[in-house]
């Protein structure tokens, strides 16, 4: 397998605030030896230009794209693993289900070949791979009426010493984080004024887990990465600049306090939940509570006006916060998607009414650049809420890479992409050691992204904006041609 194909294979699991349902690849399958048709278009992921002469193959049949990048091929009904290759581009794979007598559409966006540069990490002994877990966290500008989600962000870091055997270093060092432009979140949010109303007794600038805007990171539960969770940052710098892509500087020191390596990692967070699009611009928060009271007989509006706002998860279960809710009350994800079904467009822009957002670009990774939107993975509002009614747990059961991609590029069994670990490395040397997000970046922001704030790690250590494809990043004595997945 060619080294760079892996990042195009990361399906965008849009699980930010309220969860979603996996649809991709759910086209059914026909029986036995009957055949169907696969057709589609192959384009350049950067320019959108059609690629002629590309070869699409399922191992037993193939087709070549015409001058407009189009192809059509017959295929046996059932699951088909397809590859697409073209001169000057990286080969990539998709899985699709073919139904006898029907046409299945499979489009492609190919990435140009790359990787001839000198790798900066080759002259370094210590390397940092760092990422944010979700690609975008949600926050609020005002907590005086209610709380959907508190200020909360999570960073992960894996540290490698290239002169060693390249296992993650989890002892003998300290790993810290700090935000140079975000040192006082109380300047731009009233969260701590009302935190006790929501059941959280917190000192200013301290998040739900006890972490602040700087500090030392701790070993995660797998003892594979350093993590700081619950970081209470906002999308505002100290000087008031709106900055949803604030960066933390990660510093690795030895036991004597000597700095071994530093790197900047983006910690995205946005308040771009556009309730005002439907609930008015004068006081959308109050309008939401009044609507809730009118439908449910609650007293949320009067409570808030009396200085006693409520947290949504007091009643509505929310797996994002580990909140069980109240018996007989719909979960927050179910209630939100069910109530708003039919009221917003079944498009990514429609999703951006609640999930940040047209300016923030929550969905900005390579899947979005390849033409996949929220609906392609999660379905529309009806499909999201009906999947929950049918037993799916939002946040815990999300779209899978395996829905569209072959076995080489799947997340671990019964594991979200953001928690999955490489298990098919060449020679098994890195199996069980390297998180998928360490190389590909976080959900919704898979490299290469549409935002220049994301690729700080590959820029420093690899010399480009791509996913981590070079074995030289972590290993000495390696070339740029080794495959990451076997």
**What is the sign, positive or negative, of the torsion defined by CA atoms of 156, 137, 357, 186?**
negative
Q: For residue 33, what pLDDT is reported? A: 60
* Residues 35-110, CATH architecture: Sandwich (2.60)
Q: For residue 482, what pLDDT is reported? A: 55
Domain ranges within the chain, ordered by starting residue? 1-22+118-273+309-486, 35-110
Q: For residue 405, what pLDDT is reported? A: 84
Tens digit of pLDDT at every position of the chain (486 positions)? 333 333 333 333 333 333 344 443 333 333 446 999 999 999 999 899 999 999 999 999 999 999 999 999 999 999 999 999 999 999 999 999 999 999 999 999 999 888 888 999 999 999 999 999 998 999 999 999 999 999 999 999 999 999 987 789 999 999 999 999 999 999 999 999 999 999 999 999 999 999 999 999 999 999 999 999 999 999 999 999 999 999 999 999 999 999 999 999 999 999 998 999 999 999 999 999 999 999 999 999 999 999 999 999 999 999 999 999 999 999 999 999 999 999 988 899 999 999 999 899 999 999 999 888 999 999 999 999 999 999 999 999 998 888 888 778 889 988 999 999 998 887 777 888 999 999 999 999 999 998 999 999 999 999 999 999 998 999 887 776 556 777
Q: For residue 427, what pLDDT is reported? A: 72
pTM over 0.75: yes
Q: Are strands 103-105 and 35-44 parallel, antiparallel or unpaired?
A: parallel
Q: For residue 477, what pLDDT is reported? A: 79
* 3-state secondary structure string across the chain: CCHHHHHHHCCCCCCCCCCCCCCCCCCCCCCCCCEEEEEEEEEECCCCCECCCCEEECCCCEEECCCCCEEEEEEECEEEEEEEECCCECCEEEEEEECCCCEEECCEEECECCCCCCCHHHHCCEEEEEEECCCCEECCCCCCCEECCCCCCCEEEEEEECCCCCCCCCCCEEEEEECCCCCCHHHCCCHHHHHHHHCCCCCCCCCCCCCCCEEECEECCCCCCEEECCCCCCCECCCCCECCCCEEEEEEEECCCCEEEEEEEECCEECCCCCHHHHCCCCHHHHHHHHHHHHHCCCHHHHHHCCCCEEHHHCCCECCCCECCCCCCCCHHHHHHHHHCCCCCCCHHHHCCCCCCCCCCCCCCHHHHCCCCHHHHHCCHHHHHHHHHCCCCCCCCCCCHHHCCCHHHCCCCCCCHHHCECCCCHHHCCCCCCEHHHHHCCCCCCCCCCCCCCCHHHHHHCCCCCCCCCHHHCCCCCCCCCCCCC
């Amino acid at each position: 397998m060619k080294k760079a194909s892996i990042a195009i294979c990361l399906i965008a699991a849009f699980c930010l605030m309220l969860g979603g349902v996996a649809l991709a690849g759910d086209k059914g399958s026909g029986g036995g030896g009957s055949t169907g048709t696969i057709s589609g278009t192959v384009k350049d992921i950067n320019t959108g230009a059609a690629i002629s002469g590309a070869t699409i193959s399922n191992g037993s049949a193939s087709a070549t794209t015409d001058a407009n990048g189009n192809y059509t091929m017959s295929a046996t009904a059932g699951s088909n693993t397809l590859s697409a290759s073209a001169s000057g581009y990286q080969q990539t794979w998709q899985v699709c289900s073919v139904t006898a007598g029907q046409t299945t559409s499979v489009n492609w966006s190919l990435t140009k070949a790359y990787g001839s540069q000198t790798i900066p990490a080759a002259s370094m002994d210590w390397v940092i791979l760092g990422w944010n877990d979700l690609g975008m966290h949600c926050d609020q500008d005002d907590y005086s009426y209610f709380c959907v989600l508190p200020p909360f962000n999570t960073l992960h870091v894996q540290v490698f010493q290239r002169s060693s055997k390249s296992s993650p270093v989890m002892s003998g060092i300290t790993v810290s984080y700090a935000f140079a432009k975000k040192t006082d979140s109380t300047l731009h949010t009233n969260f701590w004024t009302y935190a006790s109303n929501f059941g959280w007794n917190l000192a200013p600038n301290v998040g739900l887990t006890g972490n602040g805007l700087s500090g030392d990171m701790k070993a995660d539960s797998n003892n594979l990465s350093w993590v700081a969770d619950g970081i209470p940052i906002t999308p505002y710098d100290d000087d008031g600049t709106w900055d949803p892509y604030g960066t933390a500087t990660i510093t690795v020191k030895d036991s004597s306090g000597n700095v071994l390596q530093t790197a900047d990692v983006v910690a995205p967070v946005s308040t771009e939940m556009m309730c005002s699009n439907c609930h008015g611009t004068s006081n959308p928060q109050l309008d939401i509570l009044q609507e809730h009271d009118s439908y449910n007989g609650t007293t949320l509006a009067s409570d808030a006006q009396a200085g006693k706002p409520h947290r949504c998860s007091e009643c509505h279960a929310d797996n994002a916060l580990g909140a069980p809710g109240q018996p007989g009350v719909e979960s927050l994800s179910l209630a939100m998607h069910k109530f708003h079904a039919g009221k917003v467009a079944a498009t990514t822009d429609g999703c951006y009414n609640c999930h940040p957002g047209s300016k923030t670009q929550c969905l900005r990774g390579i899947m979005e650049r390849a033409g996949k939107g929220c609906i392609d993975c999660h379905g529309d509002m009806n499909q999201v809420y009906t999947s929950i009614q049918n037993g799916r747990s939002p946040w815990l059961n999300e779209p899978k890479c395996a829905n569209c991609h072959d076995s080489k590029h799947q997340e671990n069994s019964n594991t979200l992409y953001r928690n999955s670990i490489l298990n098919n490395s060449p020679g098994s040397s890195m199996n069980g050691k390297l998180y998928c997000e360490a190389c590909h970046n976080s959900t919704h922001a898979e490299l290469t992204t549409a935002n220049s704030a994301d690729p700080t790690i590959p820029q420093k250590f690899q010399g480009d904006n791509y996913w981590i494809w070079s074995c030289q990043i972590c290993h000495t004595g390696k070339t740029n041609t080794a495959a990451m997945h076997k």
